[in-house]
Amino acid sequence: MEPGAKTPGPMLSVVGRARSEASPKGRGGAGFPGNGAPAGMGSKAKKRVVLPTRPAPPTVEQILEDVRGAPPDDPVFTALALEDSPGLSGRAEDTEVQQEQLYQQSRAYVAMNQQLQRAGDGLKQKCEELWRAGEALERDVGQVKQVALPGAMAASLG
């Protein structure tokens, strides 16, 4: 070809295709400048969506103002009231009965705990007594052996 001569159209697209095939994955595909393909045709590039900036969190004063301005039948308050209620009936008698049961349960727990402490102390005392008795028994057995063995040796020799 002579310099300055125009290249035929199909030749350009072949060069463009060859260039896109030879390029690394993710680069030089259709729709990128310099590859011979028109922009927008078969482009796989995703446009980045710019998100708006996050608003600043409310101040404590704003939160308190919002809570104070909410009506008493607001779902937040009614939902919390249902969770806090002692039962579905919500009668004061039920709560008094429950409180009395808890009190009696606590008293029984404390009494049982004190009884277990006393029993543990008693077991420690008995263990120490048994240990002392075992030592005394070992001493007595040692004394018996000393007294009995010399006499038995003499009788067997004589």
Q: Which pLDDT belongs to residue 33?
A: 54
> Which residues, 6 or more positions from 39, have their beta carbon under 8 angstroms from its beta carbon?
31, 32, 33
Q: Where do the structural domains in the chain lie, given as residue ranges?
A: 93-153
Q: In whole numbers, what is the pLDDT of the chain averaged over residues?
A: 75
The pLDDT value given to residue 38: 55
Question: What pLDDT, on the 0 to 100 scale, is given for residue 18?
Answer: 46
Nearest-angstrom CA–CA distance, 37 and 40? 9
pTM of the model: 0.33
Phi-psi region of 36 (alpha: psi -120 to 50; beta: other; left: phi over 0): left
Q: What CA–CA distance (Å, rounded) separates 90 from 7?
A: 92
Residue ranges in the chain whose pLDDT is less than 70:
1-43, 80-91, 151-158
pLDDT of residue 13: 46
Considering just the CA atoms, what is the radius of gyration of the chain in Å?
Answer: 49
